[in-house]
Amino acid sequence: MRLSLRFVLPLMLVLAGIAYAVAPLVDRLTLSWFVHDLESRSSLIANTIQEPLQELLAAGKRVKILEFFNRLTQDERLFAVGYCATPASRALATRSLPPEVRCSDLHLWEGTNHLLPSAKGPLHVTVRPMVSEAAPEGRLVLVHDMSFVTRRSEETKRYLFYLFMGLAAAVSLVTVVIAQLSWRGWMAGMRSLLRGEGLLRQPRGAQPSLPEFKPIARDLQRLIRELESDARARDEDQITWTAESLRAILRGELRGEDIIVVSNREPYIHQRRGDRIEAQRPASGLVTALEPIMRACSGTWVAHGSGSADREVVDRHDRVSVPPDKPAYRIRRVWLTAEEEAGYYYGFANEGLWPLCHIAHVRPTFRSGDWAQYVAVNRKFAQAVASEAKTKAPIVLVQDYHFALLPSMLREELPDATIITFWHIPWPNPESFAICPWRDEVVAGLLGSSILGFHTQFHCNNFVDTVDRLLEARVDRESFTVSFGGKLTAVRRYPISIAWPPEAEMLQKNVADCRSAVREQNDLPPEVMLGIGVDRLDYTKGIVERFRAIERLLELNPEWIGRFSFVQIAAPTRAGIEEYQQHEAQVRATATRINGRFARRGPPPIVLKVEHHEPREVYAYFRAADLCFVSSLHDGMNLVAKEFVAARDDERGVLILSQFTGAARELPEALIVNPYDADQCAAALHLALTMPAAEQRDRMRLMRGLVAEFNVFRWAGRMLLDAAAMRRRGRLIGRSGGVET
């Protein structure tokens, strides 16, 4: 409507201007028409009255002549009639003859159009010869009233104006209608092109896209992608990613957006300690990364309420504001029954999906009862998120393999939401994944996401291959998008990391003090070379393989017996699962066996500490060590490797890193090993223990540069910037959430 008015009003003004511009022309034209008309009329009158007038003149009947003239002027247009016998005589005329009309001038006016002004309006004077024998110079003068010409001219102009206005309205209407139809058609064509329709197979029943656009479609899409990635690369290069810059970007890019995080683990757990309630913050990279987002956007974090005092601190909507000392966002707690937790968390997620995705030679266990709980709990979380959404199109960040079904369930509840799902663990190849009895449901569930993130491109490839193998979906390997059920999911790589710089408290104690304190605490001689491993006690972390590598080192290089000890911090985890109990037993037995072999000649080669440590203590171990050994059999990223690097502001220490971690792709300056190859690992241990300080510094410096730059704020920021770009594009093509295909 606004567009129409914007177009119609100027057009009408232009046409009105034209109408006024042509008005003088109309005046001139109508005047010349009427003058010509009066000429003809005058000739007609002159010819008609010639005979009777001649007769009356010849008879000298002046009175009769005047009566005759008066009768003639009863015609409304004929104003006056007169006759001059000679230029010198007085005119015989009706009283109305203007005084300016004198017999002496008539010879000058003969044959011309003479106009006289008068109070009534212009008068037209025609002079015709009226010759007789008695009066060879006789002239008839006819004066016509021309005021009607002015009246007619005004009327003509008025009609002309109305005509132009009508014309303007009609032209505008037709133009606007045609323009609207063409614009809609063109926009629909462009939108469908930008969405990729018509480039690939047409969905059944869909309108074929405009064929004339097809040749430019791919180029256009590629251009948009290139521009986006250029802009992103440029932006990212210029940004030093910190919690504050992440907050600033969020305020700029996602001002006022409704942001919801969903994870199994909550960012604050309220525990009862006697009379007091303590708010514990779990040591988790995920919380570190997502909390700045929550603080900046005053968002909502939906999580399983697992603390002993969690129910005591929530309001009647199960919400609690955090951080406790300076509330900035809120947790919405979801309560699970013991059966739900057993089936969803311990069962399907940790006995099914965890071993399935890790390919760590532990068979996944799938039970239909667990699956039913997994579905039910995912549904419960979807409803909780929907009830927390303040707008129809929130940004929802779904975390990890506990919520594979949540994206599609959320898509049903909030069709316009932008759903970013991050899968923190690896994604296996299609053959391995096909073991899962509910493989199709899991993959389809994830495809409810607008963006699906993995740590490495390898995992993205595996996921896309799995989709291709299992579902009737359109996979575009150029843009790495999957179109399923009319929705598009972008599959992207977002390598997770740690906060940089680490909290000052972690680096407070200097390295020398850490070295002596750690050795003292563990009854190790001050000069012993120290290795460190920090893991959850999980079979994917390759702790047994790590111990075998140490054993092999001592076999191959016995000079290290009594001179090298390895401290393994193993935080108990998922202890309710039998596989984990067996694994713990195996780890303990392996350490005992190896210590039994080599401990007789000094300190034990392995110091196994199966207990949770505070982050400050973990950092003290990192700083005290000469090497850190990460030997995961399969790991999405592995944050321990990055934490070791962050802890070494002295630029010393060597990182030995399994090739099966995501981190190995980012930290090639580490000593990269195959944890299944004990000899190779032993060689790496020896190399680390003998590496010159200068080489340690060179390697550590490069790794620290990378971890500093590619930190966890960048991980979160990149996902949200992509989501913001997707929403902008969605608005451009008429949708805000998952882009429809």
Tell me the window of 164-172, 240-248, 591-599, 614-622 that interacts with ligand GDG (CB under 6 A).
Answer: 614-622
| Residues 128 and 42 sit within 8 Å (Cβ to Cβ) | yes
The residue among 637 and 688 lying less far from ligand GDG, judged by its C-beta, is: 637
Whole-number Å distance between alpha carbons of 550 and 529: 13
According to the binding rule CB under 6 A, does residue 534 interact with ligand GDG?
Answer: yes
- The four Cα atoms 451, 456, 460, 461 give a dihedral, to 10 degrees, of 160
Report the alpha-carbon angle 382-386-390, nearest 5: 155
The residue among 330 and 718 lying less far from ligand GDG, judged by its C-beta, is: 718
Please return the burial class of 247, using the count of CB atoms within 10 Å of its CB with bins 0-12, 13-18 and 19+: middle
Write the single-letter amino acid at 424: H
Tell me the window of 79-87, 166-174, 402-410, 630-638 that interacts with ligand GDG (CB under 6 A).
Answer: 630-638
Write the single-letter amino acid at 29: L
* Nearest distance from C-beta of residue 252 to ligand GDG, angstroms: 27
Closest CA to 167 of 18, 2, 22: 18
- Using DSSP's 3-state secondary structure scheme, residue 196 falls into coil
According to the binding rule CB under 6 A, does residue 638 interact with ligand GDG?
Answer: yes
The residue among 502 and 603 lying less far from ligand GDG, judged by its C-beta, is: 502
- The four Cα atoms 245, 246, 247, 251 give a dihedral, to 10 degrees, of 100
Whole-number Å distance between alpha carbons of 299 and 315: 17
Write the single-letter amino acid at 640: V
The residue among 662 and 738 lying less far from ligand GDG, judged by its C-beta, is: 662
| Residues 631 and 681 sit within 8 Å (Cβ to Cβ) | yes
* Nearest distance from C-beta of residue 290 to ligand GDG, angstroms: 11
Tell me the window of 79-87, 129-137, 389-397, 635-643 that interacts with ligand GDG (CB under 6 A).
Answer: 635-643
Tell me the window of 28-36, 65-73, 177-185, 613-621 that interacts with ligand GDG (CB under 6 A).
Answer: 613-621
Write the single-letter amino acid at 160: L
* Nearest distance from C-beta of residue 422 to ligand GDG, angstroms: 8
According to the binding rule CB under 6 A, does residue 425 interact with ligand GDG?
Answer: yes
* Nearest distance from C-beta of residue 647 to ligand GDG, angstroms: 10
Helix or strand (DSSP H, E) at 125: strand 123-129
Tell me the window of 39-47, 165-173, 456-464, 530-538 that interacts with ligand GDG (CB under 6 A).
Answer: 530-538
Describe the crossing of helices 639-647 and 615-624 by its angle, rounded to 10 degrees. Answer: 70
Which residues are bridge partners to 439 per DSSP?
none
Q: Among residue numbers 481 through 500, which ones bind ligand GDG (CB under 6 A)?
A: 496
According to the binding rule CB under 6 A, does residue 643 interact with ligand GDG?
Answer: yes
The residue among 19 and 425 lying less far from ligand GDG, judged by its C-beta, is: 425
Which residues are bridge partners to 320 per DSSP?
331
Describe the crossing of helices 511-521 and 615-624 by its angle, rounded to 10 degrees. Answer: 100
| Residues 606 and 568 sit within 8 Å (Cβ to Cβ) | yes
According to the binding rule CB under 6 A, does residue 424 interact with ligand GDG?
Answer: yes
Binding mask 560-579 for ligand GDG (x = CB under 6 A): ---------x-x--------
* Nearest distance from C-beta of residue 399 to ligand GDG, angstroms: 9
The residue among 127 and 404 lying less far from ligand GDG, judged by its C-beta, is: 404
The residue within the footprint of ligand GDG, chosen from 193, 385, 618, 671 (CB under 6 A), is 618
Please report, for the chain, how many H helices and E strands are present, in that order: 23, 23
| Residues 540 and 360 sit within 8 Å (Cβ to Cβ) | yes
The CB density around residue 736, as the number of other CB atoms within 10 Å, is 19
Which residues are bridge partners to 530 per DSSP?
565
Tell me the window of 21-29, 252-260, 532-540, 579-587 that interacts with ligand GDG (CB under 6 A).
Answer: 532-540
Closest CA to 441 of 433, 429, 452: 433
Q: Among residue numbers 242 through 281, which ones bind ligand GDG (CB under 6 A)?
A: none
* Nearest distance from C-beta of residue 613 to ligand GDG, angstroms: 4
Token couple for 531? 């290795």
Tell me the window of 77-85, 331-339, 591-599, 611-619 that interacts with ligand GDG (CB under 6 A).
Answer: 611-619
The residue among 358 and 727 lying less far from ligand GDG, judged by its C-beta, is: 358
| Residues 740 and 203 sit within 8 Å (Cβ to Cβ) | no
Q: Among residue numbers 30 through 69, which ones bind ligand GDG (CB under 6 A)?
A: none
Q: Among residue numbers 536 through 555, which ones bind ligand GDG (CB under 6 A)?
A: 536
According to the binding rule CB under 6 A, does residue 613 interact with ligand GDG?
Answer: yes
Tell me the window of 73-81, 180-188, 298-306, 533-541 that interacts with ligand GDG (CB under 6 A).
Answer: 533-541
* Nearest distance from C-beta of residue 467 to ligand GDG, angstroms: 22
- Using DSSP's 3-state secondary structure scheme, residue 418 falls into strand
According to the binding rule CB under 6 A, does residue 612 interact with ligand GDG?
Answer: yes
According to the binding rule CB under 6 A, does residue 640 interact with ligand GDG?
Answer: yes
The residue within the footprint of ligand GDG, chosen from 23, 615, 651, 676 (CB under 6 A), is 615
Distances (CA, A) of 518 to 392, 512, 562, 623: 54, 10, 17, 9
The residue among 123 and 707 lying less far from ligand GDG, judged by its C-beta, is: 707
β pairing state of 451-454 and 487-493: parallel
| Main-chain dihedrals φ then ψ at residue 509, nearest 5 degrees | -80, 130
* Nearest distance from C-beta of residue 288 to ligand GDG, angstroms: 9
The residue among 449 and 481 lying less far from ligand GDG, judged by its C-beta, is: 449
Q: What is the DSSP letter of 661?
A: B
Tell me the window of 58-66, 88-96, 122-130, 631-639 that interacts with ligand GDG (CB under 6 A).
Answer: 631-639
According to the binding rule CB under 6 A, does residue 637 interact with ligand GDG?
Answer: yes
* Nearest distance from C-beta of residue 541 to ligand GDG, angstroms: 7
Q: How far is CA 59 from the centre of its chain?
A: 106
* Nearest distance from C-beta of residue 725 to ligand GDG, angstroms: 23
According to the binding rule CB under 6 A, does residue 635 interact with ligand GDG?
Answer: yes
The residue within the footprint of ligand GDG, chosen from 531, 636, 717, 737 (CB under 6 A), is 636
Helix, strand, coil percent content, the chain, rounded in steps of 5: 55, 15, 30
Q: Among residue numbers 340 through 399, which ones bind ligand GDG (CB under 6 A)?
A: none
* Nearest distance from C-beta of residue 614 to ligand GDG, angstroms: 6
Closest CA to 484 of 454, 440, 425: 440
Tell me the window of 407-415, 500-508, 629-637, 677-685 that interacts with ligand GDG (CB under 6 A).
Answer: 629-637
Closest CA to 627 of 602, 652, 653, 603: 653
Which residues are bridge partners to 271 per DSSP?
278
The residue among 375 and 637 lying less far from ligand GDG, judged by its C-beta, is: 637
Count of residues of this chain found to bind ligand GDG when the rule CB under 6 A is applied: 22
Q: Which long-range contacts (CB under 8 A, 24 or more apart) does 89-96 make?
A: 91/141, 92/62, 92/65, 92/66, 93/69, 93/141, 94/66, 94/69, 94/70, 96/143
Whole-number Å distance between alpha carbons of 609 and 627: 17
* Nearest distance from C-beta of residue 474 to ligand GDG, angstroms: 29
Q: How far is CA 626 from the centre of its chain?
A: 47
The residue among 92 and 647 lying less far from ligand GDG, judged by its C-beta, is: 647
Binding mask 274-313 for ligand GDG (x = CB under 6 A): ---------x-x----------------------------
| Residues 679 and 556 sit within 8 Å (Cβ to Cβ) | yes
The residue within the footprint of ligand GDG, chosen from 97, 410, 639, 684 (CB under 6 A), is 639
The residue among 524 and 618 lying less far from ligand GDG, judged by its C-beta, is: 618
Helix or strand (DSSP H, E) at 533: strand 529-536
Q: Which residues bind ligand GDG (CB under 6 A)?
A: 283, 285, 424-425, 496, 534-536, 569, 571, 612-615, 618, 635-640, 643
